[in-house]
Amino acid sequence: MKGGLLVAGTTSDAGKSVVTAGICRWLVRQGVKVAPFKAQNMSLNSFVTREGAEIGRAQAMQAQACRIEPTAHMNPVLLKPGGDQSSQVVLLGRPVGEMSARGYHGGRQQRLLGTVLDSLAELRASYDAVICEGAGSPAEINLRRTDIVNMGIARGARLPVLVVGDIDRGGVFASFFGTVALLAREDQELVAGFLVNKFRGDVSLLEPGLDMLHGLTGRRTYGVLPFRHGLGIDEEDGLRVSLRGAVRESEVAAPVGEDVLRVAVCAVPLMSNFTDVDALAAEPGVVVRFVDRPEELADADLVVVPGTRGTVRALAWLRERGLAEALVRRAAEGRPVLGICGGFQLLGEHIEDDVESRAGHVDGLGLLPVRVRFAREKTLTRPRGEALGERVEGYEIHHGVAEVLAGEPFLDGCRVGQTWGTHWHGSLESDAFRRAFLREVAATAGRRFVPAPGTSFAALREEQLDRLGDLIEQHADTDALWRLIESGAPPGLPFIPPGAPA
């Protein structure tokens, strides 16, 4: 095989990331050397590659589905929102500045098309197949002129397009038809067909509609994927955390000890890398929930203050809602608090920020003896170390530089009593360290909770990716999908009026 495919969607969250990962895992099990690609990703959920490049976590997990190391070429443009109107632009893994939405779509985006196509060409030269993921919908006609992630990349690289629709939301037939009918003739020629996602019930009841859709558009449906709980990989944004969702929505294993352990995660604004708590939720007997009110901290055995793209803004939010006062009281009582990245920074004594918020000097919560200064250069590393007698790996993505003045060292941060702070994302994925940390939290909380000895977070991820591969293998027309990837869109696909507006 030598080819490629663009997985587009009728909407955001239609299942593009999941389908892309599933196709990747199916192909690699067939012996195909395959890589994922997303030209432009808007996400606060990012990852650091081994060469120190920042990309979307979804692409990192898709690379894992391919059983390869992620690289910057798999996500050449990453947009990290800093508010409703602006984002940090990360190009080939490095930040190049802040830009408003108008400024980006007004010209900068189109100028990046060459960089995007070069990255895709690099991958296509190295792999048998490249499975690309679109963003939003290809029929966003207001953005088509500057598009570099949907039909722009499909047309530039002559990729066949598979459109995914979430039938669980309703209106999937109209969405499929409307998506094609709002594309220009040249774009429609690349749209090969459809894939239905999250179907519940008897597929035979759906088939008359699929036949009518084929009659209306001249395009076939390549598969109907059934609804399955807990199949999301790392989300771009929102509060749906992949393995947390799996634990909540499927049968939860009983705790090994007599008690459960309750974890409250402060849902701060511009939350980043909320997947840090996935590994906690994967533990039998650990209940994870996101909270935004101080009374919701009362029964928590552990409170996590997660990363954020707006440390100063998150600090103000905590104070406005009374959560800051609750955290200070909790720390004074010796009850566990864990701050990660931005959450670690705001637990310190003060912050000097002339970069992210440009707020200058801001007092922190004063729970840790740490002073933070924001640097223009971003720290992007994959550190390794030891804590609680166990080996730990993680990754760092931050502008804030922490000066630790006292306390006990903890993963390049520090701890004072039961208040812990670190810049390391992903540390809780280290199984032995996670179990040691949870044992200490349980002992402090007086809970008879015992971590399950055999929980492997890496194995759970692999199992999840295999389930995605199974979904494609069992419910998609894989022979037709193979031909599509290898040979491109079928010739002679009909034009569906009215097409894109002039």
Pairing mode of beta strands 396-404, 370-381: antiparallel
Measuring CA to CA, which residue among 41, 43, 32 is closest to residue 4? 32
Q: Exposed, middle or buried by CB within 10 Å (0-12, 13-18, 19+), for 89?
A: buried
Residue 101 tokens read as 């939405």
Provide the 3-class DSSP secondary structure of residue 14.
coil
Helix (H) or strand (E) holding 77: strand 77-81
Contact (CB, 8 A) for 5 and 162: yes
Distances (CA, A) of 225 to 160, 166, 174, 414, 474: 20, 10, 18, 47, 9
Q: Tell me, letter by letter, the H, E, C secondary structure of 198-235.
A: EECCCHHHCHHHHHHHHHHHCCEEEEEEECCCCCCCCC
Whether residue 21 contacts residue 61, with contact meaning beta carbons closer than 8 Å, is answered with yes
- Beta carbons within 8 Å of 321's beta carbon, 6+ residues apart: 292, 293, 294
Which amino acid is it at 270? L
Largest CA distance in the chain: 71
List the catalytic residues.
Answer: 341, 425
Does residue 330 contact residue 377 with C-beta atoms inside 8 Å? Answer: no
Q: Which of the 8 DSSP states describes residue 476?
A: B
Alpha-carbon torsion 18, 24, 25, 26, what sign? Answer: positive
